[in-house]
Amino acid sequence: MRDRLSRLTIFGASLAFALSVSAAHPRAESVSPGQPNQACGSPSPIDDGWKITSPDSVGMDGAQLCTIAARLGQRSTAVHSVVVVRHGKLVFEQYFAGYDQPWGQADGQYEFTATTKHDMRSASKSVTSLLIGIAIDRKLIAGVDEPVLKFFPDYTAVKQPGWDAVTLRHLLTMSSGITWDEARAWTDPKNDEPHLVTEPDPLGYVLSRPVAAPPDTLWTYNGGGTELLGNIVERVSGKPLEAFAREALFQPLDITDVEWKPYKNGKIAAASGLRLRPRDAAKIGQLVLNRGQWNGRQIVSADWIAQSITPRFQAVGYFGGTLFYGYQWWIGRSLVGDKEIKWIGAFGWGGQRIFVVPELDLVMMTTAAQYGQPKEGLAAIDILSNIVIPSVRDAH
């Protein structure tokens, strides 16, 4: 359940990976066995709404993409999947067996394929942001400047001084100023995140936190604010969060195999509980890339997408301060040769990543089990920056 992001920098010198596959990462087959001349990483047709083609047909070097497994295999990166989409078409996928800690299941060794759901962890936050946008599009919420306490009249008794100034926008940008610390060890009683799991009323816990700074002045990573956002969606829609998400987002995206895990008190974990197939998670990235459209249908407004991916705060203390933060979306860049390539990301603890690269019309998604590892997330950014982006031939 724990979903705290590593604070190490994801930029810097390239990892010194060699080109040999480690036995620690046996491949879980993603294609039908026995197919003649089956290209490495060729996606399986599973009738999930994706159009499938070869990397070379969309201007990518398929042979270069085939070095991903070797690059991962040199070290115990615990990556479970890599999915690549270009020009709206699925062009590459690979899956790797390995250890995992899936929510609500036993820790252990698992096989991963195109039809295996995986914890998204904090990438759930980015999906919750999309649901807020849909609620605003449907006029269930007037806008991001609505005060948070307007939606929680039943929590007046726990209100602390300063909460009246906190709006939805402050929760979306993690700039509410409320006292919150997820950077401590999970067992540290001063870590606020475990309280979302253990408290009989996690919403009450969040709303009772004191305000340490005026809104818009202090960026602090805060899953508690996302829990409030998810509950606001429930309150304005009159539906459980998962039911609203299925109707408003997942069904229009042809996502049918989805799970959103609850906390012990039964409330859906808006900040960290989503489980999706990697190919379906890549659809979330494609939706953002397409400014809210999927197969010609506008699912969330283009304006909301634009607002969500606009850099609003330096993400101080996370990944060496190299990232910006929007509405529950990260904004970063990769250095490819002598050129900076900007991207938008949904990040989840353990190495769950959705990267959206507008300049190249590209989406890359990874899942992993790098929970608590000092190099958590480094494999994904290495693959993106040193293999996937450079494999694009028609933009260089």
Report the pLDDT averaged over residues 329-333.
97
What span, in angstroms and rounded, lies between the C-alpha atoms of 358 and 178?
34
Instruction: Look up residue 131 and give its amino acid.
Output: L
318-325: list long-range contacts, CB under 8 Å, 24+ apart: 318/5, 318/7, 318/221, 319/5, 319/6, 319/7, 319/8, 319/9, 319/10, 319/11, 319/377, 320/7, 320/8, 320/9, 320/10, 320/11, 320/12, 322/9, 322/10, 322/11, 325/173, 325/174, 325/219
pLDDT at 319 over 70: no
According to the model, what pLDDT value does residue 8 have?
34
**Cα→Cα distances 331→238, 383, 396, Å:** 32, 17, 22
Give the start-end residues of each E strand in 241-350. 258-260, 274-276, 293-294, 297-298, 313-314, 324-325, 330-336, 339-348
Q: Which two tokens stand for residue 391?
A: 């494999």
Burial class (CB in 10 A: 0-12, 13-18, 19+), 296: exposed
- Reported as a pLDDT band with limits 50, 70 and 90, residue 180 is very high
Q: Minimal CA–CA distance to 68: which of 393, 386, 392, 396?
A: 386
According to the model, what pLDDT value does residue 114 have?
97
- Reported as a pLDDT band with limits 50, 70 and 90, residue 265 is confident
pLDDT at 354 over 80: yes
What span, in angstroms and rounded, lies between the C-alpha atoms of 92 and 76?
22
According to the model, what pLDDT value does residue 318 have?
72
Q: Minimal CA–CA distance to 64: which of 43, 89, 39?
A: 39
- Reported as a pLDDT band with limits 50, 70 and 90, residue 369 is very high
- Reported as a pLDDT band with limits 50, 70 and 90, residue 11 is very low
% residues pLDDT > 70 (the chain): 89
According to the model, what pLDDT value does residue 6 have?
38
Query: When comparing pLDDT for 152 and 18, which is higher?
Result: 152
Residue 27, strand partner residues: 96
Contact partners, residue 199, CB within 8 Å, separation at least 6: 205, 265
% residues pLDDT > 90 (the chain): 83
